[in-house]
Amino acid sequence: MTLHAVYREGRDATLPCLVWLHGFLGCQREWEAVSENFIDWPQLRIDLPGHGKSADITVNDFHQVDQLLRKTLLSYNILKYWLIGYSLGGRVAMVHACQGDNPGLCGLVVEGGHPGLEDENARLERQTNDHLWGQRLCNEPLKEVLNDWYQQAVFQSLNDPQRAALVMLRSQNNGASLAAMLEATSLGKQPDLRAALKQLPQPFYYLCGERDEKFRTVANSLGQAPHLITAAGHNAHRENPAAFSACLLNLLRKPGEETP
């Protein structure tokens, strides 16, 4: 089994493939506006389990997500790649990078992704919280749940029209599929990856919106000076795709970092 994905050839076949991983509630189309700025690179935009055209794929944990990711890359004969992940996609990318058996991984770019909780009580609390959200996604009208979802503190930079647009867009999802993925990949079940990330042999860059106070702090906990995207909150690539693209282009073009 592989994940649904959309592949695009690049103008320069010698460059590594850019593998785009969306966040919770999203799909591969989330990256369209950004990916248009990277036509030199081969690209693969992936639908994660429970989302988009991978909505009928269920997993039990991060290990199974990573195995699906690896099978999907092999199915497209992608042997040299960068992982670029937002939020949940960033967490999937970090888990993958920290496995240690990644000869084709050229680098890691994470946008607003959490490396894992350090405190066991916080982990248990997060699992409980995600279970409650999962129950709501299964049993209540999706629009009502999403209206509450986007009131969470991490989305405080959104204005009312932005929230309404996201609720309308995300309402096309299947609540039960989302719930299954949310609980399988709860931050409470994710290992703390801080130590492993600091030992990565590949380049690792952390991006976040300048208004995303929570994940600016998270980046600092990784010993990273985050690359800040102006005029943006948590979903920086959606709120300011031009600035996000410019930042990422600059990072990808750093000398000696196109190949492992």
pLDDT tens digits for range 81-125: 999 999 999 999 999 999 988 999 999 999 999 999 999 999 999
pLDDT of amino acid 256: 53
User: What residues does 44 pair with on adjacent strands?
Assistant: 7, 19
Distance (Å, rounded) from C-alpha 107 to C-alpha 18?
Answer: 10
Closest alpha carbon to 79 in 149, 35, 17: 17
Distance (Å, rounded) from C-alpha 61 to C-alpha 9?
Answer: 31
Q: Are 69 and 5 in contact (CB under 8 A)?
A: no
List, in sequence order, the alpha helices (H) in 21-101: 32-35, 62-75, 88-97
pLDDT of amino acid 260: 37
Distance (Å, rounded) from C-alpha 187 to C-alpha 174?
Answer: 21
Q: Average pLDDT for residues 143-160, to the nearest whole number? A: 95
Looking at residue 10, the DSSP 8-state letter turns out to be: -
Distance (Å, rounded) from C-alpha 122 to C-alpha 3?
Answer: 31
Output the CA angle 17-33-102, nearest 5 degrees.
25
Closest alpha carbon to 113 in 11, 237, 28, 251: 237
SS3 87: coil
- Provide the whole-model pTM: 0.96
Helix (H) or strand (E) holding 157: none
SS3 167: helix
Residue with the bigger pLDDT between 258 and 33: it is 33
